[in-house]
């Protein structure tokens, strides 16, 4: 269950090319087109929830701008620069965790070194993760660098908190918004990873993992690895649900039905029963929301009168979650 060198499963199956990035087609296509037409920007801002591929895409972009065998915007993954970046050995891919190096002195040090020519790659790539953690002084120092970067340098800023980035910074970057990965795309990727690792997980179990990850593929693959470590390579759906602290559909179906019928007494009784069993109420609520959404889709398809009631129930429960 671990890759070469003891890497965790997500690291082993981290995408190495744009074509492997899941659920971010709008980002991937734009970057590939820019690379294919040699219109690469000097600064990028990748914003979005955790686990959606920002850092992975940044590393692929770093390979692409340095790959001598670039084809249609895709790095070859066979040349020296691609190999060095994949192994984490490229001196000119400078990754800085802004949560730990957030002060003005850290950015000034980076700025002082940026003028030096690349040593092992054609272009230096600076990847600043969690960039929203920088201090005001650090942002001001970074701004000066973004305004007049040397031609051999590219900046990629990544953040989960776009609203905390000063407008002066965002206006100098080409911005890409990473979305939560759709459930169907995550299930497909989980199925691929499971097959490659020799796991046999029912589709219902993969669906439960994908839902629990809430759009973060990294979390989903980590959960898959944990479940396989706990139950072996062939966990049942019940094993998956138990490991996630989820309930079987019976009570979510009952609660969804009570809410759809506006039977508050029955809904409260089910909620008390679930709480009394020590289950995670937040997770149970999310499962109920999923059940209501499935009913809503069926009602909309069949044009039944339940559409309005179900829409209201989903909205109210989602607000409570």
Q: Can you give the CATH number for the domain in which 91 is found?
A: 3.40.50.300
pLDDT in tens, 284-293: 787 788 777 7
Show Cβ contacts of residue 46 under 8 Å, excluding neighbours closer than 6 positions. 27, 54, 57, 58, 156, 157, 158, 159, 176, 178
Exposed, middle or buried by CB within 10 Å (0-12, 13-18, 19+), for 151?
Answer: exposed
pTM of the model: 0.79
User: Is 1 a domain residue?
Assistant: no
Q: How many CB atoms lie within 10 A of CB 196?
A: 11
pLDDT in tens, 8-19: 888 899 999 999
Domain end point (choices 160, 177, 194)? 177
User: Is 2 a domain residue?
Assistant: no
User: Is 125 a domain residue?
Assistant: yes
Q: Strand 174-177: give its sheet, edge to edge.
A: 93-97, 124-129, 153-159, 43-47, 174-177
Residues 260, 229 share a domain: no
Residues 311, 230 share a domain: no
Residues 151, 24 share a domain: yes
User: Is 24 a domain residue?
Assistant: yes
Residues 301, 220 share a domain: no
Residues 287, 195 share a domain: no
Calculate the alpha carbon distances from 170 to 43, 46, 173, 277 in Å. 9, 10, 5, 48
User: Is 3 a domain residue?
Assistant: no
Domain end point (choices 205, 223, 244)? 244
Residues 87, 204 share a domain: no
pLDDT-flagged residues of the chain (< 50) = 1-6, 307, 310, 314
User: Is 161 a domain residue?
Assistant: yes
Domain end point (choices 177, 192, 224)? 177
Structural domain for 292, as ranges: 250-318
pLDDT in tens, 95-143: 998 888 777 888 888 888 888 889 999 999 999 999 999 999 999 989 9
Distance between CA atoms of residues 313 and 318, nearest Å? 8
Residues 170, 23 share a domain: yes
The DSSP bridge partners found for residue 74 are 71
By the 8 A CB rule, do 224 and 199 touch?
A: yes
CATH at 217: 1.10.8.60
Residues 206, 162 share a domain: no
User: Is 109 a domain residue?
Assistant: yes
Number of domains present in the structure of the chain: 3
Residues 298, 201 share a domain: no
Distance between CA atoms of residues 10 and 28, nearest Å? 20
User: Is 305 a domain residue?
Assistant: yes
Show Cβ contacts of residue 250 under 8 Å, excluding neighbours closer than 6 positions. none
Dmax over CA atoms of the chain, in Å, equals 71
């Amino acid at each position: 269950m671990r890759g070469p060198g003891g890497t965790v499963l997500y690291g082993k199956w981290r995408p190495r090319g744009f074509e492997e990035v899941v659920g971010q087609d709008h980002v991937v296509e734009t970057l590939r087109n820019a690379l294919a037409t040699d219109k690469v920007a000097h600064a990028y801002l990748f914003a979005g929830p955790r686990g959606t591929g920002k850092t992975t895409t940044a590393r692929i972009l770093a390979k692409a701008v340095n790959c001598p065998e670039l084809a249609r915007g895709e790095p070859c993954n066979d040349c020296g620069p691609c190999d060095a970046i994949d192994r984490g050995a490229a001196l000119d891919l400078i990754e800085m965790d802004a949560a730990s190096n957030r002060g003005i002195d850290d950015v000034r040090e980076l700025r002082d070194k940026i003028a030096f020519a690349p040593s092992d790659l054609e272009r230096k790539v600076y990847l600043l993760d969690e960039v929203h953690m920088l201090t005001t002084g650090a942002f001001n120092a970074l701004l000066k660098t973004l305004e007049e970067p040397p031609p051999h340098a590219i900046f990629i800023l990544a953040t989960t908190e776009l609203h905390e980035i000063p407008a002066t910074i965002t206006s100098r970057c080409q911005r890409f918004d990473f979305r939560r990965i759709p459930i169907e795309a995550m299930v497909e990727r989980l199925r691929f990873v499971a097959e490659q690792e020799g796991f046999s997980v029912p589709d219902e179990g993969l669906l439960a993992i994908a839902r629990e990850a809430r759009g973060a593929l990294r979390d989903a693959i980590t959960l898959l690895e944990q479940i396989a470590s706990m139950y072996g390579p062939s966990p049942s759906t019940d094993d998956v649900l138990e490991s996630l602290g989820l309930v079987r559909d019976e009570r979510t179906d009952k609660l969804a039905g009570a809410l759809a019928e506006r039977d508050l007494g029955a809904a409260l009784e089910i909620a008390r029963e679930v709480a009394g069993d020590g289950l995670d109420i937040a997770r149970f609520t999310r499962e109920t929301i999923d059940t209501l959404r499935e009913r809503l889709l069926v009602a909309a398809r069949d044009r039944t009168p339940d559409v309005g009631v179900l829409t209201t129930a989903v909205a109210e429960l989602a607000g409570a979650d």
